[in-house]
Structure 1
Amino acid sequence: MRQRENMKSTLQKYVTIVFGVVLVAFAISVFYTPNKIVSGGVSGVSTIFYHMLGVQPGLSFAVINILLLALAWKFLGFVFVKDTILGAALLSLFVQLFSYLPPLTTDVFLASIFGAVFYGAGVGLALIEGASTGGTDILSRLVQKAFPHVKIGSILMLVDALVILLSLIVFKTINLALYGILALFVASFSINLLISKLNVSKLAFVVTDKGEEISKFLVSHSPRGVTIIESVGAYTMEKNEVLLCALKENELPRFQEEILRIDGKAFIIYSESTTIVGNGFRVFK
């Protein structure tokens, strides 16, 4: 049973990484590169190389990432490098494949907004699985290793700003640089929003006089623990229990159904928790 769960978890992890890479590659190929939008990172450098030297984006991605992976191997370890090699290799491949598609829009403003949303979502999905799409994502992880309380999105914003400055020097067009900054802000916001949403969990407070029966059922039929707090109702002055349980949002419907099945008079209160550490909960950074 445990082996099957581990296999399912591993499969889900790599599906998430691949999907994130596809989103990033799509954003670069059909929004950023054809519209000369440089929002930072290797995508920005590849866009500059493509319009200045005619170098295919897939090739420039591969060369730059090979150099950066050497640093990742030394400071971030084999696991990160393994997943980053997967992400970087697939990104180079998909960027090249998607480059044969026509741009979805020639409106630079729309390309900046929608490209940034796809880009940020893709990078965020890769990062929460401990992987990377390569490029400045590797640099941001190196910085976060030294300063663990700094958000990934903020680090990316700082590093990528230098690439936008380079685009201003190369293209000599302030409008393109401003669109690049806009795309950078939207992408960074998307990354932070995605990661913060994944950290949000629910706290359930259940007032019941069948606390022992409910807690035994929950402990034996779910991965979550339960804390029983003795309480007294102020109106009736009768003794009862308050059950405290931390849950993921997708676990709420079944949790509530089972509680009410055992005690139809149970009083349930849900509150939102921004971060829960330990006991099966994972903190995404």
Structure 2
Amino acid sequence: MITNQWRAIAQDIIYVICGVLFCGFALKGFLIPNHFFDGGVTGIALLIHEIYNFNIAYVIVLANLPLIVMGAFQVNAKFAWKTLGCVILLGICLLYVPYPPITSDKLLVSIFGGVFMGLGVGLSMRGGCALDGIEVLALYTLKRSSFTISEIILGINIVIFLIAAIHLGLPTALYSILTYYTASRTISFVIEGLEEYTAVNIISSKSVVIKDRLVNEMGKGITVYKGERGFLQGSFDVSHPVDIVFTVVTRFEVRRLKSLVRDIDPQAFVYTNTIKEVAGGVLKKRAREH
């Protein structure tokens, strides 16, 4: 047990250090030399740096401090302390690590600046903390408004990019939106990984064969719901009992599963939906997240 705990702590530290280094590389190698922005608190810090010429290392730490305090109440104290250490480490990295400017090509800066920023933020989240506290602010606002977290984050970022457009021009703001989008997609990839899970529900008159092949051929765990099928127009009072088969697969296995079901029953009704997080059951163990 103690060995597993130390292994988990070491893994978190590696994630955080790698995340900080990637973020520092994105900022000093791509975004800052080309006056580009990102969304969230990092975007606010970059905007203050560009307008008032304050040192970005200090601005990022100070901009995150209120949200770290808020995170202690919204999440927990452990998360807040880990995030504080992570943000301070990023500030030190920006002060002392001599990252060289990589390119001045605007498209390359937008794409690869976003990719490395997303890698950094995603890895720090896997380590149990946050290099950008915008989600904490959104969570705080969520409890005091009727907006969703996504709408709140979108609204904050719209304000950031509008200010950037006014002070630094529309082209820079548009390229920065591309940076933010690339970073967001990379964060999702880092957190969810290649094995993003998909829930599959199958309704078929040949459910016995389908269940057998799912378990014995694909090695999947299944859950069976008891339902009824029928209720058609013109014969609404006619129905039949049916097993509704539920299973969870990776997105790479969806096509194979659908092909298997189609071979057994071309008339089977199959519907899927994406699962953001899974644990337990007969699933392959994934990387630890906070």
Q: What is the TM-score when the length of structure 2 is the normalising length?
A: 0.65
1:164 aligned onto 2:166: no
1:110 aligned onto 2:112: no
Deviations 1:211-263 (A, max 9, x none): xxxxxxxxxxxxxx989xxxxxxxxxxxxxxxxx9999xxxxxxxxxxxxxxx
CA contact (8 A) 2:30 2:113 kept: yes
Amino acid at match of 1:89: I
Deviations 1:104-126 (A, max 9, x none): 01112211110000111211122
Q: Distance between the aligned counterparts of 2:76 and 2:165, measured in 1?
A: 35
Amino acid at match of 2:174: L
Structure 1 residue 138 displacement after superposition: 3.3
**Residue in structure 1 matching 2:280, options 274, 278, 281:** 278
Q: Distance between the aligned counterparts of 2:112 and 2:20, measured in 1?
A: 16
**Distance change >3 Å, CA 37–CA 68, structure 1 → 2:** same
* Matching residue of 2:234: none
* Matching residue of 1:11: 10
Structure 1 residue 45 displacement after superposition: 2.5
Amino acid at match of 2:26: A
Q: Distance between the aligned counterparts of 2:126 and 2:192, measured in 1?
A: 11
1:125 aligned onto 2:123: yes
What is the DSSP-based 3-state SS (H/G/I as helix, E as strand, rest coil) of the residue aligned with 1:278? coil
| Structure 2 unaligned spans of 5+ | 200-213, 223-246, 251-273
**Distance change >3 Å, CA 164–CA 226, structure 1 → 2:** closer
Query: Whose helix proportion is higher, 1 or 2?
Result: 1
Matches within 5 A, 1:28-177: 28-98=27-97, 100-140=98-138, 142=140, 156-171=153-168, 173-177=169-173
What is the DSSP-based 3-state SS (H/G/I as helix, E as strand, rest coil) of the residue aligned with 1:59? helix
Q: Distance between the aligned counterparts of 1:192 and 1:94, measured in 2?
A: 24
More deviation, 69-78/138-147: 138-147
* Matching residue of 1:211: none
CA contact (8 A) 1:46 1:60 kept: yes
**Distance change >3 Å, CA 60–CA 107, structure 1 → 2:** same
1:187 aligned onto 2:186: no
Percent identity, please: 24
Structure 1 residue 158 displacement after superposition: 4.5
Q: Distance between the aligned counterparts of 1:73 and 1:277, measured in 2?
A: 26
The number of aligned residues is 230
* Matching residue of 1:22: 21
Q: Distance between the aligned counterparts of 1:132 and 1:111, measured in 2?
A: 23
Deviations 1:118-152 (A, max 9, x none): 111211122233310144243245468899xx787
Deviations 1:65-108 (A, max 9, x none): 2222221222221011011112111111112234x433101112
1:200 aligned onto 2:211: no
| Structure 1 unaligned spans of 5+ | 208-224, 228-244, 249-272
Q: Distance between the aligned counterparts of 1:52 and 1:196, measured in 2?
A: 36
Q: Distance between the aligned counterparts of 1:64 and 1:79, measured in 2?
A: 20
The CA RMSD over aligned residues, in Å, is 3.9
Q: Distance between the aligned counterparts of 1:58 and 1:74, measured in 2?
A: 25
Q: Distance between the aligned counterparts of 1:145 and 1:125, measured in 2?
A: 27
1:178 aligned onto 2:177: no
Amino acid at match of 1:277: A
Q: Distance between the aligned counterparts of 1:141 and 1:95, measured in 2?
A: 28
CA contact (8 A) 1:199 1:284 kept: no
**Distance change >3 Å, CA 161–CA 129, structure 1 → 2:** farther
Structure 1 residue 195 displacement after superposition: 2.5
What is the DSSP-based 3-state SS (H/G/I as helix, E as strand, rest coil) of the residue aligned with 1:49? helix
**Distance change >3 Å, CA 199–CA 13, structure 1 → 2:** farther
Amino acid at match of 1:169: I
